Structure 1
Amino acid sequence: MNDFIDFILQFGSLTQQQIDLVSRKATELTLRKDEYFSEAGEVPRRVGFILEGVMRVCYYNNKGEEITRYFFDEHHLVVEMRSFENNIEASEYVQAVTDCKLLIFSKQAWDEISRTIIGWDVIVQKIFSKALIEKLERRSPLVEQDATTRYLTFMEKFPHLANRIPLSYLASYLGITQSSLSRIRKNIR
């Protein structure tokens, strides 16, 4: 819980009473590798904070191919916020890439925190604004670069993720085939 509180306090201040409320509303969840935190077609009912592990956001394109959009590791919130807040079906899957341990807030608990703590929504907005900027910074170079440069950029920016995710997910994220990724990796060595 301390990791989550430290994370939240980067974006705003809370009194000890507010911290205690947030702490009471959280529960721990363990997800095994490949288990889903949330699925496309379902309304998200919880917000997670990753304490340990790596998760990914993915979807299926119109050809039925699985596409990885993002990876999240420790100290990131996990939820499709638009669907969560508006009570609508998610369009993407959130899946554990490794065994994961998360703090979980149910929709009811999250809403109660929001109603009780003045300024909570501002803190959450700041968190998601930062996350959006991070996503854009991760994805924007991928559009303009060749496959080898995309791979090298990923390795440079996220060396801590490289050995934690399957090559098939990484290839999908980079927008290349797994065989192309293998060839790139072989040529770099």
Structure 2
Amino acid sequence: MEALINYILQFGNLNKQQIEFITNKATELELRKEDYFSEAGKIAKQVGFILNGIIRVCYYNNKGEEITNYFIEENNFVVDLDSFDNEIPSAGYVQAIEDCKLIVFSKHSWEEIANTIVGWEGIVNKIVKKSLIQKIERRSPLVSENATTRYLAFMEKYPKLINRIPLSYLASYLGVTQSSLSRIRKNVR
């Protein structure tokens, strides 16, 4: 819980009562490897904060191929925001790629926090803005660089993740086949 509170406090101030209120609204959730936090076609019902593990956001394209959009590691929030906020079916999947431990808030609890804590929306907006910037930074190089450069950039930016993510998911994220990624990895070593 301390990791969550420390993260939130980067984006705004909260007093002891507000912190206590937030922690009382939270529950812990454990996801096993390959479990879904939210699924396509269903409405996202919770916001999570990752304490341990890595989660990926993915979808299936019109050819039925699984495409990994991005990865979310420890000390970050995870939610299909459009589905959660607008109560519409999700277009993608949010899946654990290793055993994960999260702190979660139900839709009802999240709304109670927003309705009780003055300034909460401002804190959430700053967190969302940071997440969107990270998402753009992760995806932008993938458009213009060759596969080897994309892999090297990923290794440099996420050295702690490179050996924790299955090759198939990393290849999908980088937009290459698994065999191409294996060749790139062999040539880089």
Secondary structure of the residue aligned to 1:162 is coil
1:132-186 per-residue CA deviation (whole Å, 9 max, x = no partner) reads 0011111101100000000000001001100111000000000000000001111
Tell me, in whole angstroms, the C-alpha distance in 2 between the residues paired with 1:188 and 1:123. Answer: 41
Deviation for aligned residue 1:72: 0.4
TM-score scaled by length of structure 2: 0.99
Which letter maps to 1:52?
A: N
Tell me, in whole angstroms, the C-alpha distance in 2 between the residues paired with 1:120 and 1:92. Answer: 27
Deviation for aligned residue 1:23: 0.4
Partner of 2:162: 162
Listed as ranges, the matches of 1:60-99 within 5 Å are 60-99=60-99
Question: Structure 1: which 4+ aligned runs deviate by more than 3 Å?
Answer: none
Residue 16 in 1 paired to residue 16 in 2? yes
Residue 121 in 1 paired to residue 121 in 2? yes
Deviation for aligned residue 1:83: 1.3
Segments of 5+ residues of structure 1 without an aligned counterpart are none
1:27-86 per-residue CA deviation (whole Å, 9 max, x = no partner) reads 000000000000010000000000000000000000000000010010110001121011
Counting matched residue pairs gives 189
Secondary structure of the residue aligned to 2:71 is strand
Tell me, in whole angstroms, the C-alpha distance in 2 between the residues paired with 1:44 and 1:171. Answer: 27
Residue 4 in 1 paired to residue 26 in 2? no
Partner of 1:138: 138
Which letter maps to 2:75?
A: H
Deviation for aligned residue 1:87: 0.7
Partner of 1:103: 103
Tell me, in whole angstroms, the C-alpha distance in 1 between the residues paired with 2:11 and 2:157. Answer: 23
RMSD of aligned C-alpha atoms? 0.5
Tell me, in whole angstroms, the C-alpha distance in 2 between the residues paired with 1:70 and 1:147. Answer: 16
Residue 31 in 1 paired to residue 31 in 2? yes
